[in-house]
Amino acid sequence: MVGSVCTTRGIGEETPDRGAIGRPLKIGSLELTSNLLLAPIAGYCDLAFRLTCRSFNDDPAGEQGGLGLACTDLLSPHGLLKGTARSLDLAKTNDEDRPIGMQLYGSDPSIMGEGAAWAVEHGASLVDINMGCPVDKITKKDGGSKLLCDPDRALRIVESVRTAVDRASNGRVPTTIKTRLGWFDDEPVAEWLAPKLIEAGAMAVTLHGRTTAQKFRGHVDLPGIRRVVEAIDGRAPVIGNGDVKEPEDALRMIEATGCDGVMIGRGALSTPWLFRDAWTLQRRGSCPDCPELHARIELVRRFLELMRKHRGDRGAMIQMRRRISWFAKRLGPCRPLREAVRLAEDPESVHRALDAFLGGNLQPAPCRDEQGTGRGADRIDQPAAGAA
């Protein structure tokens, strides 16, 4: 599928209770322009990509402000406090990147609180606690979704972070959590733990509708998210997460679960305009047209130049080689272009390849592989965590 596809849905007069559909999300005193958020995608959610997604917020083709809030990559509080180059790069933001959520991972309540204060002092509009990452390098240090196995520690972390954030921001910046349904498939935890985390100070809960055991396999459990929504019972917003790849998926998430907002991860990697489309679908009942091919190519150029600005040519080229397969999912058959970008030695070579593609060169020879059989498809680097 090349473009973002959606159809007119009956979400207008014939739907008596629209719930959160088309309603901007409010978390504490933080008012967003929509109910859609960009997930903290490990290895992908850098400043350049966040700005690329935000560039569609003012697109006249759709409803304004589709991306309500974007999150940084996962941040180590130890790295932030020590001022390591990697942590500071992952936390980098600017005035165009607002509102911005900074997500912290770890298991020490005191250090998490200190890291949270650092985040507020360096521009965070919201501080999120990672209780959902299923990756071994996080969980083996008792962080991420391992906190679902240690409720007492999870509660102490929320209390510490909320206290530190309130002190650093005078109560202006909300504290939130992102978690999963549970650790094991047959032992749901979130539906009884999430209300306790809210009592401890969390002002919103983002829920990925899978367990740690599933990681990113299978399908999102919408009834499982609904059970958590019902358990929280309106005491704080619940943001659903998982398997949102098209605008209708976001609408379905809200309708099926009763959640207040939707966080989008991997679906945005190939379709940065997904927030525009999903918000317009909620507000108008239909989607704008997919951006024209030249506009999609310009999006790739914009990302490349933003990367050059914020990470230099070497960093930009590393990321372009990783991400061209994601962008290419919305460019139609373009294997020669993908290969040209992967083999490019510098940004100028990438621009030449994009020019050639628009000029009709670097087009694939007709073959079954490029006509939807699925065989022979290029491998796409998968985000490690927090990306659904």
Do 348 and 325 lie in one domain? The reply is yes
Say what the pLDDT of residue 11 is.
39
Can you give the pTM of this predicted structure?
0.91
* Per-residue pLDDT reduced to its tens digit, 210-252: 999 999 999 999 999 999 999 999 999 999 999 999 999 999 9
Say what the pLDDT of residue 367 is.
42
Is residue 176 helix, strand or coil?
Answer: strand
* Per-residue pLDDT reduced to its tens digit, 263-319: 999 999 999 999 999 999 999 999 999 999 999 999 999 999 999 999 999 999 999
Say what the pLDDT of residue 363 is.
78
pLDDT band for position 371 (cuts 50, 70, 90): very low
Alpha helices in 34-108 (DSSP H): 47-54, 77-82, 85-90
Say what the pLDDT of residue 382 is.
55
Residue 155 has pLDDT above 80, yes or no: yes
pLDDT band for position 10 (cuts 50, 70, 90): very low
CATH number, domain at 328?
A: 1.10.1200
Please report whether residue 72 resides in a domain: yes
Whole-number Cα distances in Å, 78 to 42, 128, 162, 266 = 17, 16, 18, 27
Q: How far apart are CA 165 and CA 127, in angstroms?
A: 8
Say what the pLDDT of residue 86 is.
96
Q: How far apart are CA 46 and CA 323, in angstroms?
A: 12
Residue 38 has pLDDT above 70, yes or no: yes
Do 250 and 297 lie in one domain? The reply is no
Q: How far apart are CA 262 and CA 32, in angstroms?
A: 12
Say what the pLDDT of residue 374 is.
33
Do 237 and 364 lie in one domain? The reply is no
Residue 381 has pLDDT above 50, yes or no: yes
- Mean pLDDT, the chain, as a whole number? 91
Residue 161 has pLDDT above 50, yes or no: yes
Q: Which of 6, 71, 133, 334 is catalytic?
A: 133
* Per-residue pLDDT reduced to its tens digit, 42-85: 999 999 999 999 999 999 999 999 999 999 999 999 999 999 99
φ, ψ of residue 302 to 5 degrees: the values are -60, -45
367 is catalytic: no
Residue in this structure with the two tokens 């509660």, named with its chain if needed: 155
Residues 6+ apart with CB under 8 A from 260: 20, 23, 25, 35, 204, 237, 238, 239
Residue in this structure with the two tokens 């990756």, named with its chain if needed: 135
Please report whether residue 225 resides in a domain: yes
Report residue 10 as tokens.
């009956």
CATH number, domain at 100?
A: 3.20.20.70
Do 218 and 350 lie in one domain? The reply is no
| Stretch 345-366: mean pLDDT | 90
Residue 171 has pLDDT above 90, yes or no: yes
User: The domain containing residue 360 runs over which residues?
Assistant: 293-369
What's the structural domain count of the chain? 2
